[in-house]
Amino acid sequence: MGNIGIENLLNGKGVKPTSNRILVMRELNKASHPVSLADLEVLLGFSMDKASIFRVLELFSEKNIVHVMSFDRVAGYLELEKARVRYFLSINAACLPANAVQGEKRTYRTLNIDGEEFEFSAGFTELHTESYKQILAGNGFRISEARPCIETVAQIRHAEPIGLVGDYHPLAKLPLSPHPFGWDERR
């Protein structure tokens, strides 16, 4: 991706395309794996000090970034007030990890917090049923409480994917599947 493409990408994310931001994004875009601050220092030939690189990365991470989006999956990165989230959501059973397939699961839900995995696929249907009961009983969330979630989902839905650059979810590397009707819906 050339400078014009990077400038358009940054502008599209609401980030002013300064020379430092363009340099960092160019290196992130070239990388085929997640890149650390130390990696960027070397890749940039020490043309930028560590604090400047860190500020650019911090700015990029404050944004809702989508790495991959197609008809059957979306993967990206969210920086929230109290969490950094790499996510991968798919309706394609071919994307299920081997341990889920071996257990004959049709759905798989997991969180990895500081290297410890918590799998919580079982009981999720009951959770939805209980939530609906509470909503119908008048104990649901107010629109003001749900608005940040709705806005985040809308941002993800309308985002332009940047590809496998930066801190992406490992399942984002899975090969994309052809659309069942032959449409090319990748963005």
**CATH code of the domain covering residue 30:** 3.30.360
Domain contains 56: yes
Residue 75: what pLDDT?
A: 92
pLDDT exceeds cutoff 70 at 162: yes
Q: Encode 127-147 in three state secondary structure.
A: HHHHHHHHHHCCCCCCHHHHH
Domain contains 187: no
pLDDT exceeds cutoff 80 at 11: no
The three-point CA angle 40-82-92 to 5° equals: 75
Domain contains 179: no
Domain contains 182: no
Between the CA atoms of 156, 162, 168 and 173, what dihedral angle is there, to the nearest 10 degrees?
110
Per residue in 45-101, pLDDT tens?
A: 878 888 888 888 777 755 678 888 888 999 998 877 777 788 999 988 888 887 776
Residues 119, 110: contact at Cβ < 8 Å? yes
Residue 97: what pLDDT?
A: 80
pLDDT exceeds cutoff 90 at 178: no
Amino acid identity of 135? I
Per residue in 99-121, pLDDT tens?
A: 776 666 777 888 888 888 888 87
Per residue in 12-36, pLDDT tens?
A: 667 888 999 888 888 887 776 667 7
pTM of the model: 0.62
Domain contains 178: no
Q: How many CB atoms lie within 10 A of CB 95?
A: 18
| Phi, psi (deg, nearest 5) at residue 40 | -65, -40
Residues 125, 111: contact at Cβ < 8 Å? no
Residues 76, 32: Cα–Cα separation, whole Å: 15
Domain contains 20: yes
Domain contains 180: no
Domain contains 181: no
Where in the sequence is the domain holding 65, given as residue range(s)? 3-173
Q: How many CB atoms lie within 10 A of CB 17?
A: 17
Per the structure, how many domains does the chain have?
Answer: 1
